[in-house]
Amino acid sequence: MSSMTNQISRDEMRSFIEDKLCAHFGVTSLDATDEQVFQASAIVIREIMSRVLAFEGTTPPEREVHYLSMEFLMGRSLMRNAFNLGVSEALTGALEDMGRTAADIFETEPDAGLGNGGLGRLAACYMDSMATQDIPATGYSLCYELGMFRQKIENGKQIEVADNWRTAAEGWLVPRYEDAVEVRFGGRVEPHWDQFGHYHGELMGYETVVAVPRDMLIAGYDNTRVNTLRLWEAHSTNDLDMYSFATGDYMKALENRTMAEVITKVLYPADDHLQGKTLRLRQQYFFVSATAQSIVREHRERYGTVMNFADRHVIQINDTHPTLMIPELMRIFMDEDNLEWDEAWKIVTECFDYTNHTVMSEALETWPQGLIQSQMPRIWEIICEINRRWCDYLREQFGDDERVGRNLIIAEGKVHMANMCLATCKIVNGVSALHGDILKKDLFKDVCGLNPARFTFVTNGIDHRRWLAQINPGLHSLVCDLLGGDDYLLQPEKMADLAKFATDREVQLRLEAIKLENKQRLAKYLQNDGFVLNTDAILDTQVKRLHEYKRQLLCAMLITHLQQRLHDDPDQDFLPRTFIFGAKAAAGYATAKRIIQLLCSLASDVNNDPVCKGRLQVHFLENYRVSAAEILMPAVQVSEQISTAGKEASGTGNMKMMMNGAITIGTLDGANVEMYERLGDENMFLFGLHTEEVNALKANGYYPQEYVNRSDRLRRVLERMNHGYSDSESYSDLAGSLLYGGDPYMLLADFDSYVDTHNRMYATLRNPSERARMSLVNTAMSGFFAADRAILEYAKNIWDVK
């Protein structure tokens, strides 16, 4: 980091914080609340980053990355930014000198409600790594006022509560009113032809929403790079209809303001009704239109022309949510810069790249064409023309073939966003080796066959500085001692040298002590939920977004079997284990919410079962989020990565737990494949069908009942689900969907293999020395999964930036 930050002492830091307390809150350090101390600390750190940006960021970059994502799951920022700036010791010392406990102040910060799951956490890790690798980059998203939701569990059911995170996090968000832009919805397009016979569509009678950027600064580690995450906030052009207000119609007076601001109220509003679908589409267009206008405006000011735009900018579409950026950029170049179609199209196709994040065709975004026509008529015209030209190209390549129809952008009354990316983007990448292979050979095989060089993969990565060094100081200290320093923070590949110490008993004992300490810290945290964690038990964890393909239900079935096994033989030798789940279900996803209810029923049953006492525990961690993961991950000993083979694109939770020494049980799916290549059977436990076996079984006819007929333990588990647990709530609907609903994610086919592999794994874990050996090998081999490696691959192979 710059000399500016390296020279800050704890006394100076204390003085800075006390000054902000007086200036912003009118209190001294003696009178301030913990929340005010946090706010003052955040302002100090933000101002340090602003000064670094002002002094170091004056030279325009040769080429800049624009990373678009609907999610950035940033978590807490105070400790991370202080760590990256090199002032964490000064900050911690200053807080202690003020009579505060640093941990209490850090705990005061709310998680930034800008994401939901792996997609958003990946984007956050990549922002950190781009700054650390000195890559000029700006992230773009929406400034969701209330996040996705805060999850509460009431009577075993998920309840969604507004997550008002921004009030306490204002210190990080810098409003840039001078950079505000207008986004237009609705209206009609009036055609005009210029003197050269070129068509121009003029939008008339439209509704305007103002997009105001709120910038969050991202500091790189041990350098002077500060990048920006630009978050757009929706405002009305007319905050108050004075006539309606004067006549007493107060609701109507605020109608325009309410309809504008709702765009950035929440992440992923429920879309199982027309109003929800419309709001989601408006969110996406608001996001990309504001972003495109901002980038082009700055480019024009700097260069005076857009003809060199593709030389200076690369735009990364992270999943399909930002796809409307493509026709929006075409609109700007044609309608504002007067470029002809071919000129504009050449620029657009040279600056866009697309990362796909799903292998399930049903999860690829589509929009009713009527909705796009009504909400953004000029964009609809452009999409139609892109589709016409794309259709002509496909016919040239395929003739009158079904491959044309299934790759069209507009088909069967819907706009297919992934196909628009295929028609436009110069590189399309998956997020693991297996995922990339599936894109080439299955999901996008038609288009890939035309130009295979366009398709590649970059295996996801995680910010190892955060997900090891910051959240697991005991393990970080051990790693530094074994490797002779902290060089691994910038060279994660050096972690591989840890494997040399895997059989060193002294190292193993130290590793066991660190894991126990982390479990004790977790136990203290879980006391807030009224759960008493058995720290002597193996901690077995499945934490991720709740979806049927991730198969949390399969793990619940295993636990049901274990409980039945204990009842069959209460005196058996049984290695104590605690299962912890953490997951949010989308508000409109009824099956996922029902699985959460089952997990809570199961937990209550097991935890109050005298036969299971001291041997088997289950806990559902309410409102799972980044800050909770930071306490949980260091304590985990078994990582459940059990998705149906061929369904998980990559996963990043698997990497975080691996890095913290957890041992994985999983299918050969997503990044598990590359983990297995590095770990082998000696350090990882695989079970279940492989991708090609899943596909073959489906093609030849999959009959779930056959698996039940030949497995008594599977039959008993389904009977228990039908009957219900101690709360008498029957889960016959979930059991029936497996038996009679086709079991689309093949839980029944994999159940026996899963149980057998679990038994084999726990037999191995019984040996503390072997458990510690595997743990250290997992940490050693996790260096490959650092986000720094992934970002360097993007920079070299996709973005062409230095």
Catalytically active residues, by annotation: 357, 544-545, 550, 652, 656
Alpha carbons 636 and 205: distance in angstroms, whole number = 57
Which phi and psi (to 5°) does residue 621 adopt? -80, 110
Alpha carbons 561 and 558: distance in angstroms, whole number = 5
Do residues 411 and 337 touch, judged by C-beta distance below 8 A?
Answer: no
Alpha carbons 702 and 747: distance in angstroms, whole number = 12
Which of 674, 678, 786, 696 has its CA nearest to residue 749? 696
Alpha carbons 226 and 220: distance in angstroms, whole number = 6
- 3-state SS string over 96-165? HHCCCCHHHHHHHCCCECCCCCHHHHHHHHHHHHHHHCCCCEEEEEECCCCCCCEEEEECCEEEEECCCC
Structure tokens at 743: 């079991």
List 179's β-bridge partners, or say none. Answer: none
* Cβ atoms < 10 Å from Cβ of 283: 24
How far apart, in Å, are the Cα atoms of 731 and each of 595, 718, 724? 9, 9, 6
Alpha carbons 573 and 686: distance in angstroms, whole number = 24
E-assigned strands of 384-507?
410-411, 414-416, 427-430, 455-457
Identity of the amino acid at 477: S
Alpha carbons 29 and 572: distance in angstroms, whole number = 59
DSSP one-letter string for 674-707: HHHHHH-TTT-EE-S--HHHHHHHHHH---HHHH
Residue with tokens 């996705």, as numbered in its chain? 148
Alpha carbons 644 and 667: distance in angstroms, whole number = 7
- 3-state SS string over 608-621? CCCCCCCCEEEEEC
Structure tokens at 681: 């059977």
Identity of the amino acid at 307: M
Which of 163, 153, 269, 268 has its CA nearest to residue 582? 153
How far apart, in Å, are the Cα atoms of 35 and each of 18, 32, 326? 14, 8, 42
E-assigned strands of 490-615?
538-543, 577-582
Do residues 229 and 127 touch, judged by C-beta distance below 8 A?
Answer: yes
- Tell me the H-state helices in 247-321: 250-253, 255-261, 274-303, 309-312
Which phi and psi (to 5°) does residue 518 adopt? -65, -35
Alpha carbons 714 and 711: distance in angstroms, whole number = 5
Alpha carbons 690 and 770: distance in angstroms, whole number = 28
Structure tokens at 250: 């107060």
7 Cβ contact list (under 8 Å, min separation 6):
none
CA dihedral 705, 710, 711, 717 (to 10 degrees): 30
